[in-house]
Amino acid sequence: MTILIILVPIALLLGFVGLVAFVWSLKAGQYDDMDGASVRVLMDDDVEDRKP
């Protein structure tokens, strides 16, 4: 059962990374415009830039 000493911290660490990622995305304002985000991904404004 000594393997637990490695596995449990790893499990907790992974969960903690997820938590930090979420709090970061919240701070970065990624949830401010939920409807817009879903349509912006389909916009091809970056293609226009490449045209001469």
Task: Pick one of 28, 35, 47, 52: the residue that binds another protein (CB under 8 A).
Answer: 35
Pairwise CA distance, residues 16 & 13, whole Å? 5
Binds another protein by CB under 8 A, chosen from 6, 39, 46, 51: 39
Task: State the SS3 of the chain.
Answer: CCCHHHHHHHHHHHHHHHHHHHHHHHHCCCCCCHHHHHHHCCCCHHHHHHCC
Does 1 contact another protein by CB under 8 A?
yes
Q: What residues make contact with another protein under the rule CB under 8 A?
A: 1, 4, 8, 11-12, 15-16, 18-19, 22-23, 26, 31-36, 39-40, 42-43, 45
